[in-house]
Amino acid sequence: MQGNSVTFSARNAMPLSFRASGAPRPLPVERISRPASLGAALRGRTTTRCGSPDDIAADWIQQNMGSGAVVRKQNAGYSDWASAYTFETENGSRYFVKISPGRDESMFAGEAEGLKAMFATQTLRIPEILHYGPLTGRGGSFIVMEHLTFGGRADPEEFGRQLALMHKAEPAVAEARNGQFGFSVDNTIGATPQPNGWMDNWVDFFRERRLAHQLRLARDSDLNKLGDKLLPKLDDFFSDLHVAPSIIHGDLWSGNMSAVDGQPAIFDPATYYAHHEAEFGMAWCASFSPGFYSAYHEIIPKEPGFEERKQLYLLYHYLNHYNLFGGGYRSQCVSIMRSLA
């Protein structure tokens, strides 16, 4: 298994993981041997202005990581907007690289800043971000991160404990430390834009930036009529409840979690500062065990109204799946909205 190859999942398809173990055939390995090898071509150069996207990413690694030239590249998955690779250097170091010739760095900014914020909590195993930026002279962008070797599933109780500790950690940014909800950059949930502009009140944020946003995208008159009934009532689900900003992964399903040397690890985030319970909006696709929840709630006790609020958080993700894929997700949205409105 090639480390972070497990992490790269298509953003505009049904949840799908590019796990090496699930690939229909071995992924190709390219030994880089452009004139006198890429390593020789890069030695002594300070900037790659018009090389291939691979050259530009390899150049950044050589100039900044102190591990020698890139000598080997292995494909690690793709989506409709980017390709992922493992780059190996002369001293044996490996890096996980995503390259997007057709997109600016804003897509990678959302991923990078989310991983950085979770990494700062020093709880779950998170890939460290080393760099993201433009493909200078070509258009497009790339991201370089720590290469992790993922394998299997972590102990569910340890996963629950570490996730709760991540949610309890002091926010890494001033706005969240001051009680605001949102994030420093917008990002995506699947292929759907996820607006994260800061707001002082969680219910207002969830109403406007999450549910109302998805309903506007749906352009479904029946769903919007149900939304007109439900959205004004959201405060009722949070009465007598103090909500503080917690960093959440935001898209926590089984394809975005694994283990590194037995430690629970998560990746491919849609991160923002939220009510910690919003983390469980993808629980229907995560297979969290009773032991996971028990360990989590030992650290963050379950508060009254948890199950009803969980339906609200499920609704956000069902609406997103309806906007992405249509089909049966609409009936699940209708069912939840009718039960809560």
Q: Is the pLDDT of residue 313 over 50?
A: yes
Average pLDDT, the chain: 86
Q: Is the pLDDT of residue 303 over 50?
A: yes
Specify the amino acid at residue 219.
R
The phi and psi torsions of 165 (rounded to 5 degrees) equal -65, -35
Q: Could you report the per-residue pLDDT of 140-185, keeping only the tens digit for each?
A: 999 999 999 998 889 999 999 999 999 999 999 999 999 999 999 9
Contacts of 26 (CB under 8 A, 6+ apart): none
Q: Could you report the per-residue pLDDT of 13-55, keeping only the tens digit for each?
A: 333 333 322 333 333 444 443 333 333 333 333 333 446 888 8
pLDDT-derived band at 336, boundaries 50, 70, 90:
very high
User: Which of 111, 109, 83 lies closest to 97 in space, CA to CA?
Assistant: 83
Q: 140 near 99, Cβ under 8 Å?
A: yes
Q: Could you report the per-residue pLDDT of 224-253, keeping only the tens digit for each?
A: 999 999 999 999 999 989 999 999 999 999
Q: 163 near 282, Cβ under 8 Å?
A: no
- Which is it for the CA torsion 226, 232, 238, 243, positive or negative? positive
Query: Residue 231 and residue 340: Cα distance in Å, rounded?
Result: 10
Query: Residue 127 and residue 273: Cα distance in Å, rounded?
Result: 19
Q: Is the pLDDT of residue 2 over 50?
A: no
Specify the amino acid at residue 273.
Y
Q: What is the pTM of this model?
A: 0.85
* Average pLDDT over every residue of 280-294: 96
pLDDT-derived band at 101, boundaries 50, 70, 90:
confident
Query: Residue 312 and residue 211: Cα distance in Å, rounded?
Result: 9
- Find the angle CA(95)-CA(97)-CA(98) to the nearest 5 degrees: 165
Which residues are known to be catalytic?
251
* Average pLDDT over every residue of 68-74: 94
pLDDT of residue 51: 65
pLDDT of residue 99: 94
Query: Residue 42 and residue 36: Cα distance in Å, rounded?
Result: 10
Q: How large a percentage of the chain has pLDDT more than 70?
A: 85
